Amino acid sequence: MKDFKVLLINCNTMLDTLVTAGIGILSASLKNEGIDVQLFDTTFYKTAEQSGDDARASVLQVKKTDFKDFGIIPEEGDVVEDFVKLVESYKPDLIGLSCVEITWPLGLELLKAVKHTSIPTIVGGAYATFAADIITRQDAVDMVCVGEGEEPLTELCTKMRSGEDITTIPNIWIKQDGKLYKNPIRAGIPMKQLPFQDWDIYDERRFMKPMGGKISVTGTFEMNRGCPYTCTYCINSGFDQLYSPVGGYYREQDIPRLIDEMVEKKEKYNLSFVYLVAESFLTTNRKRIEQFISLYPKVGLPFWVEARPESISKEKVDMLSEVGCEGISIGLESGNAELRKKMLGRNVSNERIIKAFEMLADSDIRVSANNIIGFPTETREMIFDTIELDREINVSGVMVSFFSPYRGCTLREVCELEGYIEEEDIAEDYRLSPTMDMPQLSRDELIGIHRTFPLYVKFPKEEWDTIRLCEGTGPESEKLYQEYSQRYTEEFMS
């Protein structure tokens, strides 16, 4: 059989070390067909002024951790030059770029740098799925994978290796002989048919993940794909629409199969922590939860999950605590009930949200509330409804993100219609800065509220007038903000 080599690019945000399940599964799928795979990973290159974790630490959302203590520092080399050198030495038959919206510009720069080699290129990932028309306009791109890539990429490589026609592969758009072939979407692969992830392609530093002020060797495992809900601010709403003609997108992994992979990876990579990829961990049937609880002691590692407030019950909390759940993030998003229901597609009451946090407060699980600010039509008063709800639930971890209208989420269309963002604009990193400058809520005002959000939540209302001064950008505001930050750290993050 003819040798065939694929160079995968993980175009990642700087120092975001949590391994992505998708890359590992793609690599395993290709290797199972006898295809050679190498990975070029941008994670440890200095591609930004600060990492997402550093940004969150600077606005009091997470404890500061220092990768340097573990010998992890950005590479000194130039990311583009190093990529070109690898392409020239490895001489792949195909280059596959995996990127998200915010890393697409860097990914495109990498592809342009090797266009002279005439090596075929394919782009995949969430942004590629929802911006295929935009991406295929680029001369450096030959193909785009729309939707999941395990089966399409494997089929593409095997056909390229044998010299067969590649213009009819489902999920793949391909430019050939001056034509663009837009092939239809195929049904999602049953998750139990996916191979175990191939982690050998990763630098061992990729498993060092900051969590709760410390760095742990962390493994990522897919518990399901997609989400049973269709919140308008999330790209799962786009995947739900894309896959609706072929049976839907949401699927769950078999629990015994999930546990077997965890056990294997724990032993091989000396894991100390587990991150479960599940948009809403507890939104499933009782049997499945009970099966996870009964089998997870084989893994026996602390783990972290995400959940929706309406899925929380006292019984489920007790089960999670018993089996070693260390942390849980609850999607609160907005404290304004009308905005939540009419704009975000979240039909849950404030009372139910409060009840969920009350049930978690009695457990030993570390709890955080996920909030989002900067939705279209949202006002300062609505954001303070969110702050008031956070004050009432009195949770220890206060997380707040900027709404980023990524392609694929339903609200992107609203933002484009309102003129807040253009079709080809790249939405910003939700941890770093707002994307939109709106008449009722300017970009500068959002930045000010974002950095003082935890202060408003935790300190007495008598201090709110003073805290508002911290929203400014001048030296007096910065001095005051640093004083409050020190107080906050000592009182709430010790």
Return the CATH class of domain 223-458: alpha beta
Judged against a pLDDT cut of 90, whether residue 173 lies above it is answered with yes
Judged against a pLDDT cut of 90, whether residue 415 lies above it is answered with yes
39-49 pLDDT, tens digit per residue, is 999 999 999 98
Instruction: Indicate if the alpha-carbon torsion angle 348, 349, 351, 353 is positive or negative.
Output: positive
Average pLDDT, the chain: 94
Contact 186, 172 (CB under 8 A): no
Give the pLDDT confidence score for residue 40 in this predicted structure: 98
**Phi, psi (5° rounding) for residue 19?**
-65, 145
The domain limits of the chain are 5-182, 223-458
Structure pTM? 0.94
Give the pLDDT confidence score for residue 283 in this predicted structure: 86
pLDDT level of residue 76 (50, 70, 90 thresholds):
confident
Judged against a pLDDT cut of 80, whether residue 285 lies above it is answered with yes
340-393 pLDDT, tens digit per residue, is 999 999 999 999 999 999 999 989 999 999 999 999 999 999 999 999 999 999
Give the pLDDT confidence score for residue 82 in this predicted structure: 97
Long-range Cβ contacts of 307-311 (<8 Å, 24+ apart):
307/280, 307/281, 307/282, 307/283, 307/331, 308/229, 308/280, 308/282, 308/283, 308/348, 309/348, 309/352, 309/353, 309/355, 309/356, 309/357, 310/348, 310/352, 310/356, 311/280, 311/281, 311/282, 311/283
Question: C-alpha angle with apex 334: 328 to 337, nearest 5 degrees?
Answer: 120
Judged against a pLDDT cut of 70, whether residue 155 lies above it is answered with yes
Judged against a pLDDT cut of 70, whether residue 1 lies above it is answered with no
Judged against a pLDDT cut of 80, whether residue 70 lies above it is answered with no
Judged against a pLDDT cut of 90, whether residue 209 lies above it is answered with no
Only one residue has tokens 């990876």, namely 265
**Residue that wins the pLDDT comparison between 492 and 69:** 492
Give the pLDDT confidence score for residue 63 in this predicted structure: 85
Contact 97, 107 (CB under 8 A): yes
CATH 3.90.220.20 fits 5-182, yes or no: no
Q: Which residues contact 34 (CB under 8 A, 6 or more apart)?
A: 1, 4
pLDDT level of residue 212 (50, 70, 90 thresholds):
low
Q: How many CB atoms lie within 10 A of CB 256?
A: 12
For 308-418, strand residue ranges (E) read 325-333, 366-373, 397-402
**Residue that wins the pLDDT comparison between 213 and 257:** 257
Residues 135-154, mean pLDDT to the nearest whole number:
97
pLDDT level of residue 238 (50, 70, 90 thresholds):
very high
Give the pLDDT confidence score for residue 59 in this predicted structure: 93
Residues 158-180, mean pLDDT to the nearest whole number:
96
